Structure 1
Amino acid sequence: MVNFRKKVHCIFICVLTLTLTLTSITYANEDFKKFNNLDERLAYLKGIIQYIEKNYDGKVTEEELMEGAYKGVFKVLDPHSNYFEKDEYNQFQIDSIGAYGGIGATISVKAGKLIIVGFMENSPAKRAGLKEEDIIESINDEVVSKYNSKEGIDLLLGHPGTKVKLGIKRKGQESIQYFYVQREIIKINPVQFKVIDDHIGYIRIDEFNQNASENVKKSLEELKAKNIKGIILDLRGNLGGLLQEGVKVADEFIPKGPVVHINYKNKKRKTLYAEKEKINIPLVVLVNRLTASASEIVAGAIQDTKSGIIVGTKTYGKGTVQQTTPITNGGGIKLTIAEYLTPNERSINGIGIQPDVLVKNNLVVSKEVIGCFVSMIEDKKFSLGERGLNVYGAQQRLKLLGYEKVEATSILDGVTLNALKDFQKINGLEETGVLDLKTRDKINERMQDLSSGKLKDLQLEKAIEILKE
């Protein structure tokens, strides 16, 4: 009985303490639920922030508290609306627009050194005389070794038209050579294509950035010049991107007419149309549970117009449209503003698109997809917040190994960390969430198992079978 009374007494004291604490940051004789206007609620928020600043036993700035409040506003909305801090917004812009100011070189990090391992098409770095295996010792006379890998790579980025001075250590030469490279707009190509299995054209779109439709058009022109007998459009794992790019890509495959209907809040419906003639080549579209948003617009338009056969599993079901807007602090907001419908006015939000031919795979990725992945060749480990090619490559693979929330951003974020921990647990590795060399090798090992022929890509095989018929 004595112990019970002590427990009751402790609970009473805890409740009393909490009540006094909450009372100290509210207004006298005023309950939050009774606030009738935004000004009163903002004043209440100000009181909370001031209380935290005065009493919180930790390091936090007013700016950090406000950023947290901004993010909180969007957390009560749908999962696709978001608030971006400045760095987050800059990265989002690069991902969605598909362009950035840089030197057009692919950088690997080995033993703390920045090494050039490749060049993008029409690369300013290559034109300036840089070569593969060149080691970047300094950037604008700043020694690279004083920075971490992310900071060093970020120094190469900048406004198009500006120059960057690079100190280069070249194999077989003892002295440092200096090169001035003028940054240009570097476009990220999300489209890969090739001819497979007896004159069948294979096109894969990783995302619908600003360069997607342009590169799909080029891919089609080159494939048609090779007298292909059919086309496989692979949208598996493509989580979407820009609405207009999805419409332009659909325009390459469907007849003139509606591509998508957009229902805005309190506005009339807007319909976007295909303006070209339908391509006269048999078409199969591959989809899976990670085919979302703009990818579903393309797949839905092709299915409704009977321009091709959809093969795979049910798609994600993201049938909403977001608008992204920059804000004065350098960040940005992404807000859901509309729902879209397929040409036949089907809503797919939360429903997805059912394939014409249901084929479940023994694996999530195919040989064709694996061949398009970034190589994980950096000889270092990556922790939370760090950026690198290994991280990007691991994210590509993890997403298609079933970790649906992982996005390929090249930054090891919290979602990727949790996915790595789960992967490490399943594969008998230490659960650190760090992308170390053992984890990298194990991920590559899983990919090799999938591409070795032990497991077949049943969806791709079915697509080839349909086109051959």
Structure 2
Amino acid sequence: MGMYYYYRPGRWGRWLAVLGLVVFLVIVVFGGMLASNYKHLGTLLEVIHLVRTRYLEPVNATTLVDGAIRGLVKSLNDPYSVYLDPGEYARLQEQIRGSFGGLGILVGIKEDQLTVMRAYEGTPAYRKGIRQGDVIVRIDGRDARGMDLDTAVSLMRGPVGTEVKLTITRKGAPQPWDVNLVREEISVPTVEGRMIPGKGIGYISLTQFTEKTPDELESTITRLKKEGMRAVLLDLRNNPGGELRSAVKVAGYFIPRGPVVYIQYRSGREETYSSEGKNLNLPLVVLINRASASAAEILAGAVKDTGSGILVGEKTFGKGIVQTVYELDNSAALKLTTARYLTPARHDINKKGIVPDVVVEQEPQAQVDLQLERAIQILESRMARAA
């Protein structure tokens, strides 16, 4: 998922961008020191002309421009910098907001079949009886076998109030059946919390960081406090990151007032994002693994550097860079790497990751969650010493 800002240029900002492009082209064409770039520009124009006039099939000009933009960004050799067409950008916005017009199911590809991994309670799919393990074989009459996941998700999402028909098969059912569903505003929770029975430990899982995560966390903490929470087990495993400001707000519940992260730009400019100091002041253990990335690493790094808790698990992914999302005039966007971040102790973790205080390896298909068990042991020991 990554970690990003949003940049929305106003009307004057767009005109300035266009003006800047014109000036750049003038310099490229007429600047003697940039003769090689002039030759490359001429080659580009020649290729566009040949494709437009000689290619076997007609090609839309928009397709060529989009392809040129994608190629330009791809030349950076940065997997996090990408051109997002209008559809891709809309899905990214939904992901960051944490809500979208949909059916309320999480789907995945299992044994080459589009499979329901989870149906969220209270959603259209849940009310219609769709459940985990169901296989979707058609979407509005379109064969879903062999369909890629992004296409399937885009077909099932859409404007609130519109209809979609799914054809479902289920193990043990005699034949497929159709389910007609009306899309609703779906908010997928990013925070789950429960008490570990008989321990006084509140288990809180953060699956990603969206704009709604801080409010969800506050509600979860309030509820767990009422249920007797005396220590916190924060699970950031498999959390791919998300919105920067959301991660900073979340960090405020677990670390004292002070820097959460430093953002450094190419120009040398630096920004500091700080905690407001809502620290719970409870024994804290944070679970991390190889798939804890980006904004999740910001939170884990802040906890470790401030000594606010103990990290348990495996070394994190190691994504210490930030992307800015620039809106473009055609409803598309450019997601571009624009900065790196440092932890409160000014550690650069990019391509390095964060090493936990207590290393516990976990096999993906293991029946026992060794990392969770070790975290509980550590919290019980700390709680006993504080008693």
- When normalised by structure 2's length, the TM-score is 0.71
- The alignment status of 1:466 with 2:387, answered yes or no, reads no
Counterpart-to-counterpart distance in 2, 1:293 and 1:165: 35
Counterpart-to-counterpart distance in 2, 1:261 and 1:249: 16
CA change 1:205–1:57 in 2 (3 A) is same
Counterpart-to-counterpart distance in 2, 1:316 and 1:107: 24
The Cα offsets for residues 414-457 of structure 1, whole Å up to 9 and x where unpaired, read as xxxxxxxxxxxxxxxxxxxxxxxxxxxxxxxxx4xx22x4xx52
| 2:312–2:360 contact (8 Å) kept in structure 1 | no
| Residue in 1 that maps onto 2:141 | 145
| Residue in 1 that maps onto 2:185 | 185
- The alignment status of 1:45 with 2:56, answered yes or no, reads no
Counterpart-to-counterpart distance in 2, 1:115 and 1:352: 33
Counterpart-to-counterpart distance in 1, 2:142 and 2:218: 44
| 2:318–2:352 contact (8 Å) kept in structure 1 | yes
- Aligned-partner SS, 1:237: coil
- Aligned-partner SS, 1:216: helix
- The alignment status of 1:227 with 2:201, answered yes or no, reads no
| 1:96–1:210 contact (8 Å) kept in structure 2 | yes
Counterpart-to-counterpart distance in 1, 2:108 and 2:291: 29
| Residue in 2 that maps onto 1:218 | 219
Q: How does 1:241-260 map to 2 (within 5 A)?
A: 241-260=242-261
- The alignment status of 1:309 with 2:305, answered yes or no, reads no
CA change 1:302–1:103 in 2 (3 A) is same
| Residue in 1 that maps onto 2:22 | none
| Residue in 2 that maps onto 1:350 | 351
Q: How does 1:9-408 map to 2 (within 5 A)?
A: 35-36=34-35, 41-54=40-53, 62-77=61-76, 78-104=78-104, 120=120, 123=123, 130=128, 132=130, 144-146=140-142, 148=144, 154=154, 157-160=157-160, 162-164=161-163, 181=182, 183-196=183-196, 198-199=198-199, 200-266=201-267, 268-357=269-358, 359-361=359-361, 363-365=362-364
Q: What letter matches 1:205 in structure 2? A: L
Following TM superposition, by how much is the alpha carbon of 1:84 offset from its aligned partner in structure 2, in angstroms?
1.7
| 2:237–2:291 contact (8 Å) kept in structure 1 | yes
Following TM superposition, by how much is the alpha carbon of 1:260 offset from its aligned partner in structure 2, in angstroms?
1.1
| 1:254–1:302 contact (8 Å) kept in structure 2 | yes
CA change 1:59–1:194 in 2 (3 A) is farther
Counterpart-to-counterpart distance in 1, 2:109 and 2:42: 49
Following TM superposition, by how much is the alpha carbon of 1:234 offset from its aligned partner in structure 2, in angstroms?
1.6
The Cα offsets for residues 275-320 of structure 1, whole Å up to 9 and x where unpaired, read as 1331122111112222211011101111111110112232222111
| 1:137–1:166 contact (8 Å) kept in structure 2 | no
Counterpart-to-counterpart distance in 1, 2:108 and 2:236: 28
Structure 2 stretches of 5 or more lacking a match?
A: 1-28, 169-176, 382-387
| 1:116–1:131 contact (8 Å) kept in structure 2 | no
CA RMSD of aligned residues (A): 4.1
**More displaced 10-residue stretch of structure 1: 236-245 or 344-353:** 344-353
